[in-house]
Amino acid sequence: MTDSSYPPISEQLDDVDDARTEGRRKMDWAAQHMPILEHVREEFLADQPFEGERIAMAMHVEAKTAILVETLADGGAEVAVTGCNPLSTHDDVSAALDAHENITCYAKRGVDDEEYYAAIEAVIAHEPTVTVDDGMDLVAAIHEDYPELIDGIVGGAEETTTGVHRLRAMDDDGALEYPVFAVNDTPMKRLFDNVHGTGESSLASIAMTTNLSWAGKNVVVAGYGYCGKGVAKKAAGQNANVIVTEVEPRRALEAHMEGYEVMPMAEAAEVGDVFLTTTGNRDVIVEEHFEKMQDGVLLANAGHFDIEIDLEALDDLAVDRYEARDGVDAYELEDGRRLNVIAEGRLVNLAAPVSLGHPVEVMDQSFGVQAVCVREMLENSDEYDAGVHDVPDELDEEIAEIKLEAEGVEYDSLSATQREYMGSWDHGT
């Protein structure tokens, strides 16, 4: 059975009390802007749907995520949490969470690979009945190293595009042995979090990190999925000239029809001022591109993993490397050009020193879906076999309705005649 001696954050900080106070302050601010989780939390407090359950989570441990964690704990669960990226954790929030009697938090900022996985194992040692992932690291570690726990796991939920992509690959191989909801794929998540959240927070993080303007810049957005669309749209809104690179013909065409320049990365490399990768794939910006870039360019990644920009190749090319600013590494090439990499090529909206992740409002939506997915998985576990599952549409609608009510937005509903019309095939001309 699993055994872990990795300590929770409270045992790793010098001044835990101060950290907890500051973490709680950040959480209070976030909570004020999360009406969906507030609503769901009240329901969970009354119904205690998670009594006796153990929920394991690997997510970006900051204030908004902390509100989700508390919401699940307030529903009666024992929750064990760690980070899903070594640079996105806020230690103070981690400490505030760890103070909750039903929560153990292992997340710590700046951990190396070994500590990162030790913390994941510490979470798994709680022998979860439910997993909540952002990037699928928990599912992977459980299947690879602790398969004996799978029988006790009712199911899981996955937050992000990359995690869902990995899960589907695992499912196609017949290797996924418990059910997992693809939270990312719901309209309430990806039309808001991926588009507006990634767009706003990536651009804001880059601007804050560099103190440079978007206006008049050539901004190269690699990938025109939901995240790329958001980044492109917001960059255009900041008066940048947006160039899109794509490998999928319909998306390339979509970007073209949206009015962006579309070209291969090999050409974009020559003219770009800022490069932002959002593909979820590896080796998007590589040596041949570095060779052509102008002096002073900014390179950043908004995809889940730090594999989109080939930093090893850049390091090999460079004759010098230094920290130009907090969160900016300048790689100086032999001919004197400096290529500036932000946040070590890790997802820039969470990993740059000033980053705060997506805006609170969109995370309220994504985490609202997460919370009702955990409820659904436990309430109706018989309905979900091992594999990736779409989130039932009613759950997604439930979250949209809570949000609309909180915003005071009223909307129409179908009349009986309209409903009949939409459900029939025999009304012609």
Annotated binding site for substrate: 134, 159, 189, 193
* 36, containing H or E segment: helix 35-47
Choose which of 37, 122, 265, 363 interacts with ligand RBV (CB under 6 A): 363
Q: Which stretch binds ligand RBV (CB under 6 A): 276-284, 333-341, 357-365, 376-384?
A: 357-365
CB of 192 to ligand RBV, least distance (A): 10
Burial 182-210 (b: 16+ CB within 10 A, else e): bbbbbebbbebbbbbbbbbbbbbbbeebb
Q: Tell me which residue of 388, 311, 317, 368 sits closest to 342, measured CA to CA.
A: 311
Tokens 């990037």 belong to 135
Residues 287, 288, 294, 298: is their CA dihedral positive or negative? negative
Instruction: Extract the annotated binding site for NAD(+).
Output: 160-162, 194, 223-230, 246, 281, 302-304, 349, 358
CB of 186 to ligand RBV, least distance (A): 11
The footprint of ligand RBV on residues 172-231 (CB under 6 A) is: 193, 197
The answer to whether 140 and 382 have CB atoms below 8 angstroms apart is no
Rounded CA-CA distance 58/157 in Å is 11
The footprint of ligand RBV on residues 101-160 (CB under 6 A) is: 134-135, 159-160
Rounded CA-CA distance 119/146 in Å is 15
Choose which of 20, 24, 26, 60 interacts with ligand RBV (CB under 6 A): 60
Cβ nearer to ligand RBV, comparing 244 with 350: 350
Rounded CA-CA distance 63/83 in Å is 13
Using CB under 6 A as the binding rule, whether residue 350 contacts ligand RBV is answered as: yes
Burial class (CB in 10 A: 0-12, 13-18, 19+), 412: exposed
The answer to whether 69 and 79 have CB atoms below 8 angstroms apart is yes
CB of 130 to ligand RBV, least distance (A): 18
DSSP for 83-107 reads -SSTTS--HHHHHHHHTSTTEEE--
Using CB under 6 A as the binding rule, whether residue 304 contacts ligand RBV is answered as: yes
The answer to whether 164 and 388 have CB atoms below 8 angstroms apart is yes
CB of 352 to ligand RBV, least distance (A): 12
Cβ nearer to ligand RBV, comparing 36 with 318: 36
Q: Which stretch binds ligand RBV (CB under 6 A): 60-68, 236-244, 290-298, 400-408?
A: 60-68
Cβ nearer to ligand RBV, comparing 272 with 359: 359
**# residues contacting ligand RBV (CB under 6 A):** 17
Which residue's Cβ lies closest to ligand RBV? Answer: 357
Using CB under 6 A as the binding rule, whether residue 64 contacts ligand RBV is answered as: yes
CB of 396 to ligand RBV, least distance (A): 15
| Helices 226-237 & 198-210 angle (0-180, nearest 10) | 50
Rounded CA-CA distance 232/230 in Å is 5
Cβ nearer to ligand RBV, comparing 129 with 278: 278
Cβ nearer to ligand RBV, comparing 64 with 338: 64
Q: Which two tokens stand for residue 86?
A: 């070594």
Choose which of 82, 357, 399, 402 interacts with ligand RBV (CB under 6 A): 357
Cβ nearer to ligand RBV, comparing 59 with 402: 59
Binding site for ligand RBV (CB under 6 A): 60, 62, 64-65, 134-135, 159-160, 193, 197, 304, 347, 350, 357-358, 363, 366
